[in-house]
A and B are shown apart, each in its own frame.
Chain A
Amino acid sequence: MSTHQKALWLFGGVVALLAVASIIGAVLKARAGNPSSRDVVENLNARVRAWWGMVAVFIVAFVLGQTTTLVMFAFASFFALREFITLTPTRPGDHRPLYLSFYVLIPVQYALIGCGRYGIFAIFIPVYAFLLLPAIATFAADTQDFLERCAKIQWGVMITVYCISHAPALLLLKIPGYEASNALLLFYLLLIVQLSDVLQYVFGKLFGRTKLAPQVSPSKTVEGLVGGGLSATAIGGAMWWITPFTWQQSLLMSFVIVVMGFLGGLTLSAVKRSLGAKDWGVMIEGHGGMLDRMDSVSFAAPIFFHLTRFFFT
């Protein structure tokens, strides 16, 4: 089967899955009796509607090619960083590093992927940006909370730009015997991360009894994590035919993606709460903000990228 045919099957599968979810949502809506279950169903349906939109955007980017995909992820980084900075108390003295982050770091980071410059892509933010951001912050001559302010901007850039950019960076990899199929690998990563989130949510709602980390992320349950995580891993193993992996390798890779995605959701939930918020934003109806949807991706993408690059190129 060619890459093209595989992509068609994948898109068909995702669309069919969403159609089933929409039908289930409509049935649940008709049945929901009391106000609290109506709220849950309404939120579920809002999520499904938002998924239609996100899948449509992704399919369009996929069909139009690498440049469009990069632009799409650059915008995802932009909105995620905008949410991060909105919740982070900044002072007028942070203006220069923020200009640099939004208007220079984001475009350059994604342009480096576009030009295929892995060497500089990998260190541009952790080395150059991390030293220059605090350096230009000193020009404002405001030393109050200087370390905290710099650290917050650096963390925001790290998560929203550096980490998220590793997802489309999969397009850079030269994997022998897998030429011109890298877009499928990107699809694979996003599919497993998001399926894991969705299945953890579903298992949690159906069987969730034991809260996992009530202070950090009240909705996460042990039953949700185990049931959702294992199913997502199994589905990942079964998707080996779109990857350069054998089914055993694919199973392991999916497991790593699921674990990292879970840790990302947990960690960024702690960050969010330390900033005094419940959701990162309001952009995506039912889900919250861009970062509520990308938190797991930001942790899974760099590790998946590195493991694939280390073992398969």
Chain B
Amino acid sequence: MRPSGALLVGIVKLLVGAYPRWVGCQPEPRQRIYFANHSSHVDTLALWSALPRRLRHTTHPVAARDYWGHGLKKYIATKALRAVLIDRAREDKNANPLEPLIAVLERGESLIIFPEGTRGKDVLPGPFKSGLFHLAKQFPQAELVPVYLENLHRSMPKGAIVPIPITCTVRFGALVQVGAGETKDDFLARARNDVIALSGKQQQS
């Protein structure tokens, strides 16, 4: 791991702990797409830091260019995290926004994505966008791992600039697969429910 990455992991663990709990699968060097609930800017760092060191090198978080694309944040994202930056704004309507993600998966490496697309303010995730489904269809060999990040919305709620220290556990659940003939909406709802189930909380109707 690069020194900047090691320093970053140290700071993240000092502030939010990022204790991994491998509930439904084990940390193994296979190609994977980790997908998690998204409630704060620390999410990306916490999930990546919770992975064992040997997996971090080939696991790339997907981050929004409009937030991570400038200054120090850009340095952290591209140099330390080796993140993949994507355009949420989709300035070029003809480009496939998933293109940079596909490039990583074609190299056989892993991704961390937040399928809600934006940070929610609730403990439980909002509806998932379709990117996860398309990637799963295109790369059936990649294992899909649901992840629940606890407490981070309290560490850094929307509007906060510096996180406050709080212990966060990162729960990795059992692998998910797209069923034969399963529709996009059914799969996305099921994937979201798997993340919710890891939270141990009931969904409020």
Residues of A whose CB lies within 8 Å of any CB of B are 78, 81-83, 85-86, 90, 92, 95, 98-99, 102-103, 281-282
Contacts and interface: CB of A to CB of B under 8 A. Distances in A.
A282 B157 CA distance: 24
Contacts of A81: 165
Interface string B155-187: 001011010111100000000000000000000
Nearest to B168: A86
A86 B167 contact: yes
B165 A85 contact: yes
B167 A83 contact: yes
A102 B154 CA distance: 14
A78 B165 contact: yes
A71 B131 CA distance: 47
5 contacts: A82-B17, A83-B167, A85-B166, A86-B151, A92-B159
B2 to A, nearest CB: 26
Contacts of A85: 164-166
A95 B155 CA distance: 8
B119 to A, nearest CB: 13
A260 to B, nearest CB: 27
B139 interface: no
Given A86-B167, A103-B162, 9 more contacts: A82-B17, A82-B167, A83-B167, A85-B164, A86-B151, A90-B154, A95-B157, A102-B164, A282-B19
A267 to B, nearest CB: 22
Contact of B162 (A83, A90, A92, A99): A99
Contacts of B165: 78, 81-82, 85, 102
Nearest to A90: B154
B167 A95 contact: no
Contact of B164 (A83, A98, A281): A98
B19 A99 contact: no
Contacts of A281: 167
Contacts of A98: 164
Contacts of A90: 154
Interface of B: 17, 19, 151, 154, 157, 159-160, 162, 164-167
A282 B18 CA distance: 11
A64 B16 CA distance: 28
A95 B166 contact: no
B87 to A, nearest CB: 29
Contacts of B157: 92, 95
A82 B163 CA distance: 12
Nearest to A98: B164
B154 to A, nearest CB: 6
A81 B15 CA distance: 11
A85 B155 CA distance: 10
Nearest to A78: B165
Nearest to B160: A95
Nearest to A281: B167
A158 B191 CA distance: 43
Contacts of B19: 282
A282 B159 CA distance: 30
A103 B14 CA distance: 13
Contacts of B159: 92
Nearest to B14: A78
- Sorted nearest first, the 7 A-B pairs with minimum C-beta distance are A86-B167, A92-B157, A82-B165, A98-B164, A86-B166, A102-B165, A90-B154
A99 B157 CA distance: 13
Nearest to A75: B14
A282 B167 CA distance: 10
B106 to A, nearest CB: 38
Contacts of A95: 157, 160, 164
A85 B167 CA distance: 9
A281 to B, nearest CB: 6
Nearest to B169: A282
Contacts of B154: 90
